[in-house]
Structure 1
Amino acid sequence: MNKQLKTMIAFIVISLCISSSLAGQTAVYASPPSIGTNAYASAIIDVQSGRILYSSNGDVETRIASLTKIMTAIVAIEHGNLADKVTVSRRAAGKEGSSIYLKLGEEMTLSNLLYGLMLRSGNDAATAIAEHIGGSEAGFVFLMNQKAEELGLTHTQFRNPHGLDADGHYSSANDLAKLTAYALKNKIFAEIVKTKYKQAPNPYEKWNYTWRNKNKMLNMYEGADGVKTGYTKKAFRCLVSSATRNGQQLAVVTLNDGDDWRDHQKLLDWGFKHYPLSHLAEAKQLVPGSNLVYGTGFSYPLEESELDKVKATVALLDQRSVHYSLGERGRMNFYLDGEPIGTVPLYEKGSARIKMLDSRAAEESFTQFQKLNQQQEGWLNKLKSWFK
């Protein structure tokens, strides 16, 4: 029996061991309790994994009001230069609905326009952004729909960048959840939507623009960090919120919900309680019965009864492959009910790649130490100034 075949057999055993350790002793688990809302459609998604944890009328196509601006913002961030000066056109300055009160010919950076877009839901900001990035509103809408197709949002179609009611302009709770999960992985987007208060230069007054975020969840829910409100007379109240607890970020979507603030708190609580992150692999952890270690950690949101449904198998790499030459030896593939949920690269214990991970971890620890020192020095200087 050759060495590679022996290794393969060992990995099959390892796979079974991993499945057994996840399952524990045989037990009967209760399914999570059902939950209802006042929304016409709703969804909960785990941001990192993209797993939809709850959905009601999730694929029904309906009006979404200013939740449209989630797509407007991410397209602008990906296609634009935040430092660009955007000149406000007559069309943008005169846009009806919610506004940050831009004036014809006014110049504002794309960065500040994005804050006005997401904190105050400015339709004038949306139009100015669209014309700047897309050359015209129609050109920008093309980019929006192109992005929707790229993300696999099959129940979404845009007709404008602001969300005012228009025939053929719609999305669904599930699609908005997927879009939000994608957008929140962008650091610029995530920073904007969690901002409670923003000032921007106002060229026509002695005082700055002052924008307070319309998203009350930022003050109502522990760990809240986004995302967007919406309302029109036909779409009614729409809301996307997000929150992070214990290293897990969830996003909730409700469409046409007269009690959205309360429903979002309830849905977030339900998601965190019943679908916490299960840590299936830790970086540098030794794979039982081998000299291989995980190259990265891997966590996945699992309901208690799903723990014994997780399986893990190893795929060995061809020694002639590029990845093998770069140090990777195999991949641990994780499945839930037979469906793939994640993959972790495997490396030899003590290899150059693992030493690199150790070096990077040490560097990050030193950087954190430096930041802490700087903070302490700042506090000391403040104390000294108070006692002068």
Structure 2
Amino acid sequence: MLTRHRIVSISLLISIVLLFESAAAVAAPETGLPPEPANHAQAAALIDVSSGRILYEKEGDNQMRIASLTKIMTAIVAIEHGNLKDKVTVSRNAFGKEGSSLFLKLGEQMKLEDMLYGLMLRSGNDAATAIAEHVGGSEEGFVFLMNAKAEQLGLEHSHFANPHGLDVEGHYSTANDMAKLTAYALRNPVFREIVKTETRKAPNPNEQWDYSWHNKNKMLRLYEGADGVKTGYTKKAFRCLVSSATRDGRQLVAVTLNDGDDWNDHGRMLDYGFRYYPVVEVTRRNMPLSGYNFVTGASFSYPLAEGEERLLTKKLVLTKTATVNSTSDRASFGLRGRIDMLLDGKLIGSVPVYEKGSYIPRVKEAIPTPASGDVRESSWRDAWNEVMQRLFTA
């Protein structure tokens, strides 16, 4: 039987528990953001390719070994710096390279394009080394190009020491950096075509049959709309995976590092992004600005969770020569400035602003704020070049 003293103690304990629950509810109000997807990775990231927005991360800036995910950087550097029709010769250094291999013969020659397919579909370390030596002049020269590209893209937590990803000190990246790198690489049509390919054949000069490579990336067969990208594994990095998928014209990239259930986790992450972060049109090309004699020069869309639209703000930034009522004889070519778009105070992109009736160049429809500054600068440069070409060829 409970004594009066025990009843009072239990009542007091219940009151304290209820008080803490109430305080917790006040301290953590409903944010409106979707529940994060469960996954088993040590580090993970999910990115929208077009906008570059990281939709989800787990220890996203934690520097880790990345195994053969390295070859994403190898491939895009080789595509940008090499000639796809060049013949690549397999050196003694590349021949018999440890780990996954295409089993290329010493002195064998293969087109760079074919070797890139072997690199990405079968993760050939011999191919990675041969490609690096051909494009960079040496493996060290190619690694220099890899790190220069990482710096250009703003991958602040990455450093590459080889082109294949075999474990070595000083070779690392993060889930967020790999997401940004892959989003960049997928804008290249050659890279995009390679990583979505399930089977590729290439001439074999040493046998009567062709090479035939089947993509190791099971996501291409497991997930609707999957179209890339790369698997990875070493004894120290464990299982690593970068996958991509496109639905209704919209592409997402998922990254996991050290994940024993990566196929299922990637499915959940991609589902999460497609479901909870629809792309919202923030502004349209040729949209008038209320109170000004200006129109927007491009459309801009961005992935937003439910309720985030109320956090969007727009800021008009005029050029030094422009005024609110500028006319074409006051400033050159009708460009008057830009509209900066901010989400919860953070810049997410910009759209150029032109005087009504002036010529509007065909700049990229969206000008997101990327990992590095070069995308926006390229967009403005493209617009300027078009204006100048139109001026002097008219």
| TM-score, length of structure 1 as denominator length | 0.80
- Number of the residue aligned with 2:15: none
Q: Is the contact between residue 333 and residue 359 of structure 2 (CA under 8 Å) also seen in structure 1?
A: no
Q: 1:88 to 1:342 in 2, by over 3 A?
A: same
- Number of the residue aligned with 2:341: 334
Pair 1:227 & 2:229 matched = yes
Distance 1:82 1:176 in 2: 24
Distance 1:325 1:197 in 2: 53
Select between 345-354 and 326-335 the one with higher mean Cα deviation. 345-354
- Number of the residue aligned with 2:367: none
Select between 192-201 and 289-298 the one with higher mean Cα deviation. 289-298
Alpha-carbon offset, residue 305 of structure 1 = 2.2
Distance 1:324 1:97 in 2: 61
- Number of the residue aligned with 2:281: 279
Alpha-carbon offset, residue 123 of structure 1 = 0.5
Distance 1:288 1:246 in 2: 32
Amino acid corresponding to residue 70 of structure 1 in structure 2:
I
Q: Is the contact between residue 318 and residue 324 of structure 1 (CA under 8 Å) also seen in structure 2?
A: no
Equivalent residues in 2 for 1:340-355 (5 A)?
340-353=347-360
- Number of the residue aligned with 1:25: none
- Number of the residue aligned with 1:151: 153
Q: 1:229 to 1:324 in 2, by over 3 A?
A: farther
Alpha-carbon offset, residue 309 of structure 1 = 0.6
Decide which of 113, 120, 125 is 2:115's aligned counterpart. 113
Q: 1:293 to 1:104 in 2, by over 3 A?
A: same
Decide which of 328, 332, 339 is 1:325's aligned counterpart. 332
- Number of the residue aligned with 1:164: 166
Alpha-carbon offset, residue 64 of structure 1 = 0.7
The Cα offsets for residues 99-127 of structure 1, whole Å up to 9 and x where unpaired, read as 11111111111111111101110101000
Please list every run of at least 4 consecutive aligned residues from structure 1 whose deviation after the TM superposition is greater than 6 angstroms.
Answer: 320-323
| TM-score, length of structure 2 as denominator length | 0.79
- Number of the residue aligned with 1:266: 268
Q: Is the contact between residue 69 and residue 242 of structure 2 (CA under 8 Å) also seen in structure 1?
A: yes
Amino acid corresponding to residue 353 of structure 2 in structure 1:
L
Pair 1:215 & 2:217 matched = yes
- Number of the residue aligned with 2:203: 201
Decide which of 179, 185, 188 is 1:177's aligned counterpart. 179
Distance 1:324 1:228 in 2: 49
What SS class does the counterpart of residue 176 from structure 1 fall into? helix
Alpha-carbon offset, residue 51 of structure 1 = 1.4
The Cα offsets for residues 69-106 of structure 1, whole Å up to 9 and x where unpaired, read as 01111111111111111111111111011111111111
Distance 1:288 1:318 in 2: 21
- Number of the residue aligned with 2:369: none
What SS class does the counterpart of residue 91 from structure 1 fall into? coil
Q: Is the contact between residue 86 and residue 132 of structure 1 (CA under 8 Å) also seen in structure 2?
A: yes
Aligned identity (percent) is: 64
Equivalent residues in 2 for 1:1-388 (5 A)?
30-319=32-321, 324-353=331-360
Q: Is the contact between residue 333 and residue 358 of structure 2 (CA under 8 Å) also seen in structure 1?
A: no
What SS class does the counterpart of residue 352 from structure 2 fall into? strand
Q: 1:35 to 1:233 in 2, by over 3 A?
A: same
Distance 2:141 2:293 in 1: 55
Larger radius of gyration: 2
Q: Is the contact between residue 336 and residue 354 of structure 2 (CA under 8 Å) also seen in structure 1?
A: yes
Alpha-carbon offset, residue 58 of structure 1 = 1.0
Q: 1:39 to 1:29 in 2, by over 3 A?
A: closer
Alpha-carbon offset, residue 324 of structure 1 = 4.6
Q: Is the contact between residue 29 and residue 305 of structure 1 (CA under 8 Å) also seen in structure 2?
A: no
Alpha-carbon offset, residue 325 of structure 1 = 1.7
Q: Is the contact between residue 278 and residue 300 of structure 1 (CA under 8 Å) also seen in structure 2?
A: yes
Alpha-carbon offset, residue 351 of structure 1 = 3.1
Alpha-carbon offset, residue 167 of structure 1 = 1.7
Distance 1:319 1:246 in 2: 42
- Number of the residue aligned with 2:374: none
> Hey, which of these two has a bigger chunk of helix by percent?
1
What SS class does the counterpart of residue 307 from structure 2 fall into? helix
Distance 1:144 1:131 in 2: 13
The Cα offsets for residues 337-381 of structure 1, whole Å up to 9 and x where unpaired, read as 111111111234443337x79xxxxxxxxxxxxxxxxxxxxxxxx
What SS class does the counterpart of residue 57 from structure 2 fall into? strand
Distance 2:156 2:32 in 1: 33
Q: 1:295 to 1:126 in 2, by over 3 A?
A: same
Q: Is the contact between residue 177 and residue 251 of structure 1 (CA under 8 Å) also seen in structure 2?
A: yes
Gaps of at least 5 residues in structure 2 are 1-29, 323-327, 364-394
Alpha-carbon offset, residue 146 of structure 1 = 1.8
Alpha-carbon offset, residue 331 of structure 1 = 1.4
Amino acid corresponding to residue 347 of structure 1 in structure 2:
Y
Q: Is the contact between residue 96 and residue 103 of structure 2 (CA under 8 Å) also seen in structure 1?
A: no
- Number of the residue aligned with 2:383: none
Distance 1:202 1:192 in 2: 19
Q: Is the contact between residue 29 and residue 304 of structure 1 (CA under 8 Å) also seen in structure 2?
A: no
Q: 1:259 to 1:87 in 2, by over 3 A?
A: same
Alpha-carbon offset, residue 322 of structure 1 = 12
Amino acid corresponding to residue 211 of structure 1 in structure 2:
W
Q: Is the contact between residue 43 and residue 174 of structure 1 (CA under 8 Å) also seen in structure 2?
A: yes
Select between 280-289 and 98-107 the one with higher mean Cα deviation. 280-289
What SS class does the counterpart of residue 116 from structure 2 fall into? helix
